Structure 1
């Protein structure tokens, strides 16, 4: 039995970790959110009492309804074997809707769309966060304004370069830095609230109503910027598997939520006292002597926010691979203890290239803010939709509750989405373009993979027929164990068939390993393998992995009960398919080219399955697409 103090210590460490990773994005929103609201449509929102109270009320109730009530209270309850995120939620909905094939397919389609929007968010967040922090130099001294872009690019370049070393050691610094950041947020806001206590009236929802009634079009446009205060809400759910539900909730209610509200109220009070501060209310909250240290702290906080989004993109990519929507990618585990700490080189450098292009094209956080929002609101709506399906199916919610939640959350998020649609011609097209590209890639890979699998099965022939033929022909047996990685137990591995037909030999022990990706994050070791003995020294092993588990074939052979195989002594055989574009239908010609290009750039199967290079043999064949 663990001592209570040990349990408290563990919970404290998890809360600190959650503060360092989960809340980086939403925690840095005060840098640019309020500033963007007052800059929309050539300052359509005025620094008057009515407008300021209306804006701060919109901010408060948006955070309360979307983040506190929806995500922290409800969405965190929908955990997929402890994991979260829109892809995990889609897999969860698919599992509880297995009897309704159409619903399960729609759930995965929504998950793919949500993941695609997340990639757009992953491009914009590092660019806007780091730029908005470095732009604080202009407040301290307008002189070095020309250095903002080079400094921003240099910081981001360093951030992406160090990804290969992992976040384990750096991550321990994230929590204390973010604790300091949130304490500073609160400390900056409190003096201005004390100086203008009337700003607390803005917490009343009546000011939202009066703001909308008095200026309906302006309020509508303002919602397109107010959504910036809830960017990062999805991270609360996506990172649940790393820290658990309770630490995230404790961190939110104990520090993050009050610090954010105090800072936004402080910015509102400052604007009322001096309307000229609308150009950068965050940095002007601080006295002159504190502005340069605040720039340094804000830069650290935005780097942490960027790190969280980049890590999220790695996790989403890994989940998409396991669910069959992307080719195998090289995934490097950067921690011996934490399986969630991974590095995906291809995703890392694609993100870096995209972020640099964004910075050079948009050149300021103000312009980037026009592109921000569509990806966020789209993901919010998709999460709400999947949550309602899950609540109706798994939680058995009554219809009135489903309708109430749909109206409150869905209605607010639809307004956010509609307001952000006005940004399309001013940069909002960017996340939509990124999402369209990613959806095209994912659906092309899924469709092509199914076609190739069917045609490959026709070439390979039945495994049962091959086993029967081997019994009749009795080829010469050679010492040792041969392991054949093969996607199914129904057909014969081409490498096995070629070994018999061309070399006329068969190893004493032949193990065919089929890897299956389950729609859950983790499969317990005790449930991971099933061994089917085919006779004459031939065995078929089915290895099941969750989409968060490393697909380590030698480790599975070592752990499989009753198998008695020494992975260090075995030889491993892979069947490599050479894809050719043919005249047969099933896919458009351009999609065939795209699929073949993606296949050529996929990870080496030997590395993906953790096979020893010096004991792995690759044998090929051709498949027409």
Structure 2
């Protein structure tokens, strides 16, 4: 009751509020019809004639209602459009920034040969212990690994590059949760942690339980006893969790639109969004954050 009175006061009269509600309802109906049509076409694999028999009558009726509301837009119907434009801007800037970030990493990811060559240098110190390096790149070795090695001149004797991925399935079986493998260089491994959209991502991904699960999977694929002993020895010397954090920045040749989207909107969202790894309960006392600036 109080909320309704407040809305009426904000719109100055009930007619403007009714116009806003009407615009929302009709656009919800149109969007629902379009999405249902897509489901019929892509998921249900319905015959095209049946899809047209559903889509055409509904879109014509809803189109008549929609055109009748066009004259109501200046009289309060503009509000849902303004709200939609705001959220569309937020979503577009985030999607655009993520796509540019993924393209940057795909173009500059390391090859196994480059990784082996870097670790073969005498200037690279192999620190004792195990390092779990978290990144977002699913395929390949992210450029932040190159950045880390070049600027620290060190790598732990066992380093596991970890990436979390949500699959388009309801649940992932426990035995399929961890997909691990050895990379080209000695002591460097890859771990892909997979979840279904209905799985809780806080399970089996934190602390000692996570370390033990990954090491167990690595040992299953290890052919020599020497390598197994090396994995156990490195784990006993201590475990460090390194989190890769990237910041996007436009280059001087970028246009004003790209600069506005990346340097202001996307950067603002990136600074204020909740870290992806916060739900994985990474131990703060053994966590190292590695940052890198992506100039796109």
Task: Give your verdict on TM over 0.5.
Answer: yes
1:436 counterpart residue number: 85
Per the TM alignment, residue 508 of structure 1 is displaced from its structure 2 partner at its CA by 2.8
1:409 counterpart residue number: 58
- Is the contact between residue 165 and residue 195 of structure 2 (CA under 8 Å) also seen in structure 1? yes
Instruction: Confirm whether residue 581 of structure 1 aligns to residue 250 of structure 2.
Output: yes
Per the TM alignment, residue 514 of structure 1 is displaced from its structure 2 partner at its CA by 1.8
Distance 1:359 1:613 in 2: 49
- Is the contact between residue 493 and residue 575 of structure 1 (CA under 8 Å) also seen in structure 2? no
Instruction: Confirm whether residue 513 of structure 1 aligns to residue 167 of structure 2.
Output: no
Q: 2:189 aligns with which of 527, 539, 543?
A: 539
Q: 2:217 aligns with which of 551, 562, 565?
A: 562
- Is the contact between residue 132 and residue 159 of structure 2 (CA under 8 Å) also seen in structure 1? yes
Distance 1:476 1:430 in 2: 61
- Is the contact between residue 110 and residue 146 of structure 2 (CA under 8 Å) also seen in structure 1? no
Which SS does the other structure have where 1:531 is aligned?
strand
* Structure 1 residues without counterparts, runs of 5 or longer: 1-128, 133-147, 150-357
Distance 1:395 1:605 in 2: 34
* Structure 2 residues without counterparts, runs of 5 or longer: 220-230
Which SS does the other structure have where 1:588 is aligned?
helix
Aligned-residue RMSD, C-alpha: 3.3
Which SS does the other structure have where 1:372 is aligned?
helix
Which SS does the other structure have where 2:217 is aligned?
coil
- Is the contact between residue 97 and residue 266 of structure 2 (CA under 8 Å) also seen in structure 1? yes
Instruction: Confirm whether residue 465 of structure 1 aligns to residue 120 of structure 2.
Output: no
- Is the contact between residue 132 and residue 239 of structure 2 (CA under 8 Å) also seen in structure 1? yes
Question: Pairwise mapping of residues 64-213 of structure 1 onto structure 2 (< 5 A)?
Answer: 131-132=3-4, 149=6
Distance 2:42 2:90 in 1: 31
Distance 2:15 2:282 in 1: 49
Change (3 A) 1:608 1:404: same
Distance 1:363 1:381 in 2: 28
Q: How many residues align?
A: 270
Question: Pairwise mapping of residues 216-615 of structure 1 onto structure 2 (< 5 A)?
Answer: 361-362=10-11, 367-458=16-107, 461-470=109-118, 472-473=120-121, 475-488=124-137, 489-492=139-142, 494=144, 496-519=145-168, 522-534=171-183, 535-547=185-197, 549-552=199-202, 553-554=205-206, 562-563=217-218, 570-585=239-254, 587-592=257-262, 593-615=264-286
Per the TM alignment, residue 407 of structure 1 is displaced from its structure 2 partner at its CA by 3.4
Change (3 A) 1:421 1:526: farther
- Further displaced range: 470-479 or 395-404: 470-479
Per the TM alignment, residue 430 of structure 1 is displaced from its structure 2 partner at its CA by 0.9
Per the TM alignment, residue 617 of structure 1 is displaced from its structure 2 partner at its CA by 0.8
Distance 2:190 2:52 in 1: 49
Per the TM alignment, residue 379 of structure 1 is displaced from its structure 2 partner at its CA by 2.8
Change (3 A) 1:398 1:373: same
Which SS does the other structure have where 1:473 is aligned?
coil
2:224 counterpart residue number: none
Distance 1:412 1:557 in 2: 59
- Is the contact between residue 245 and residue 291 of structure 2 (CA under 8 Å) also seen in structure 1? yes
1:618 counterpart residue number: 289
- Is the contact between residue 163 and residue 192 of structure 2 (CA under 8 Å) also seen in structure 1? yes
Deviation string 1:57-85 (CA, Å, 9 cap, x unpaired) is xxxxxxxxxxxxxxxxxxxxxxxxxxxxx
- Is the contact between residue 484 and residue 493 of structure 1 (CA under 8 Å) also seen in structure 2? no
Per the TM alignment, residue 618 of structure 1 is displaced from its structure 2 partner at its CA by 1.0
Per the TM alignment, residue 397 of structure 1 is displaced from its structure 2 partner at its CA by 2.2
Per the TM alignment, residue 573 of structure 1 is displaced from its structure 2 partner at its CA by 0.9
Change (3 A) 1:447 1:509: same
What is the TM-score normalised by the length of structure 2? 0.75
- Is the contact between residue 374 and residue 431 of structure 1 (CA under 8 Å) also seen in structure 2? yes
- Is the contact between residue 131 and residue 365 of structure 1 (CA under 8 Å) also seen in structure 2? no
Change (3 A) 1:394 1:449: closer
Per the TM alignment, residue 481 of structure 1 is displaced from its structure 2 partner at its CA by 1.7
Which SS does the other structure have where 1:622 is aligned?
strand
What is the TM-score normalised by the length of structure 1? 0.38
Deviation string 1:304-358 (CA, Å, 9 cap, x unpaired) is xxxxxxxxxxxxxxxxxxxxxxxxxxxxxxxxxxxxxxxxxxxxxxxxxxxxxx5
- Is the contact between residue 529 and residue 556 of structure 1 (CA under 8 Å) also seen in structure 2? no
In terms of fraction of residues, the more helix-rich structure is: 1
